[in-house]
């Protein structure tokens, strides 16, 4: 039972990855080309062409790295939430024809996004190594920060997916909220430039602590701030438990509606 | 190196505990138990890592 679920999740993830580049000559190689081009754009455009500098650092590429290490995890988070929200309508054919374990679909989305994240972060490591950056123990925490971020994403996605079957507006609402959330998270700007009231509001943004964790590890050579991450871990798991409870309550109706 | 030992050791303990819970509980109860264990795992990592860093003199 468990092994069949695992093979179902792995097969869905493999298909997702292969289908994304199906028919193209370079195939899966595009999965490396896209993030590589993005990373080089951030580093070259912001570092060399625009000449933007990160406050407190003299490194020419620091701002590019700052943006890249914020956007990569944000992309995974945002895609997981958005794709999870639409998962029941996107996989309607599979759900109605096969006896699909619905929670497995969320694991497959998260796994698929994790794969993209791993590729991008690996390329980032290669660029940092070529730049001569030194590696420290904070890097060991990267998988855990990402893991926490994905738990939060699945928690939100599972809830919105369950509700979006009955209220379709939720799909559009999630896209809008994610857009606003992106700009409310210090990914392309530094939190210090915000006015006082916005900095105080930032305490309520869970993605701030996660993105800040990545920034601390990659840009400042420091460790993430642990206390907010512990609180966020508990909140994310409570949210996921609540979402799962809601999903279990609605599961029969979801299948009937589809 | 001590950091890596801590992460590996804690992961092994949690995986073994997860395996035990998986066999002992069924249905939704199993999911909630595993979720609680997962939460404990991450809290353990983020909570104890600073202590490990202090022991190794890196913090």
Give the per-residue pLDDT at A242: 96
Partner B contacted by A233 (CB < 8 A): yes
Q: Is residue A119 part of a domain?
A: yes
Count, residues in chain A:
258
Q: Is the pLDDT of residue A200 over 70?
A: yes
Share the mean pLDDT of chain B: 91
* Averaged pLDDT, B17-26: 89
Give the nearest partner residue to A237 out of B28, B39, B56, using CB atoms. Answer: B39
Give the per-residue pLDDT at B19: 92
* Averaged pLDDT, B30-37: 93
Give the nearest partner residue to A237 out of B7, B35, B46, using CB atoms. Answer: B35
- B46–A244: do the CB atoms touch at under 8 Å? no
- CA distance, residue A115 to nearest chain B CA (Å): 21
**Per residue in A37-83, pLDDT tens?**
888 888 888 888 887 888 877 788 888 899 999 999 999 999 999 99
- B49–A148: do the CB atoms touch at under 8 Å? no
Give the per-residue pLDDT at B57: 85
Residues 6+ apart with CB under 8 A from A220: none
Q: Is residue A85 part of a domain?
A: yes
Contacts with A2 from chain B: Cβ below 8 Å: 22
Residues 6+ apart with CB under 8 A from A46: A52, A63, A64, A67
Question: How many domains does chain A divide into?
Answer: 1
Q: Is residue A249 part of a domain?
A: yes
- CA distance, residue B3 to nearest chain A CA (Å): 7
**Per residue in A99-152, pLDDT tens?**
788 888 999 999 999 999 999 999 999 988 988 888 888 899 999 999 999 999
Partner A contacted by B39 (CB < 8 A): yes
Give the per-residue pLDDT at A141: 94
Q: Is residue A40 part of a domain?
A: no
A63 CB neighbour count, 10 Å cutoff: 23
What percent of chain A has pLDDT above 70? 99
Judge contact between A31 and A113, C-beta under 8 A. Answer: no
Size of interface A-B (CB pairs under 8 A): 51
Give the per-residue pLDDT at A1: 62
Structural domain of A75? 64-257
Q: Is residue A19 part of a domain?
A: no
If one compares A172 and A133, the residue with the highest pLDDT of the two is A172
Q: Is residue A48 part of a domain?
A: no
- For chain B, what are the domain ranges? 2-55
Give the per-residue pLDDT at A2: 67
Give the nearest partner residue to B49 out of A136, A141, A233, using CB atoms. Answer: A141
């Amino acid at each position: 039972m468990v092994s069949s679920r695992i093979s179902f999740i792995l097969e869905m993830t493999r298909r997702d990855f292969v289908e994304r580049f199906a028919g193209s000559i370079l195939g899966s190689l595009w999965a490396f080309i896209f993030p590589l081009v993005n990373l080089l754009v951030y580093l070259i455009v912001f570092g060399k062409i625009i000449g933007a500098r990160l406050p407190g650092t003299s490194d020419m590429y620091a701002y590019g790295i700052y943006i890249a290490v914020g956007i990569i995890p944000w992309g995974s988070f945002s895609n997981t939430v958005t794709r999870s929200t639409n998962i029941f309508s996107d996989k309607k054919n599979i759900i109605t024809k096969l006896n699909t374990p619905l929670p497995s679909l969320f694991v497959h989305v998260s796994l698929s996004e994790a794969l993209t994240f791993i590729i991008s972060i690996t390329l980032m490591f290669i660029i940092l190594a070529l730049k001569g950056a030194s590696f420290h123990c904070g890097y060991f925490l990267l998988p855990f920060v990402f893991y926490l971020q994905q738990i939060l994403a699945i928690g939100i996605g599972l809830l919105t997916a369950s509700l979006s079957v009955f209220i379709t507006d939720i799909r559009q609402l999630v896209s809008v909220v994610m857009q606003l959330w992106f700009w409310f998270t210090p990914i392309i700007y530094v939190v210090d430039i915000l006015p006082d009231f916005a900095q105080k509001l930032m305490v309520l943004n869970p993605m701030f602590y996660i993105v800040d964790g990545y920034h601390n590890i990659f840009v400042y050579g420091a460790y993430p701030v642990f206390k907010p991450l512990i609180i966020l871990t508990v909140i994310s798991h409570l949210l996921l438990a609540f979402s799962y409870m809601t999903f279990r309550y609605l599961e029969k109706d979801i299948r009937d509606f589809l | 190196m001590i950091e890596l030992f801590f992460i590996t050791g804690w992961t092994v303990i949690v995986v073994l505990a997860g395996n035990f819970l998986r066999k002992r509980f069924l249905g939704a109860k199993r999911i909630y138990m595993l979720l609680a264990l997962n939460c404990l795992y991450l809290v353990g990592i983020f909570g104890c890592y600073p202590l490990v860093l202090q022991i190794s003199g890196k913090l």
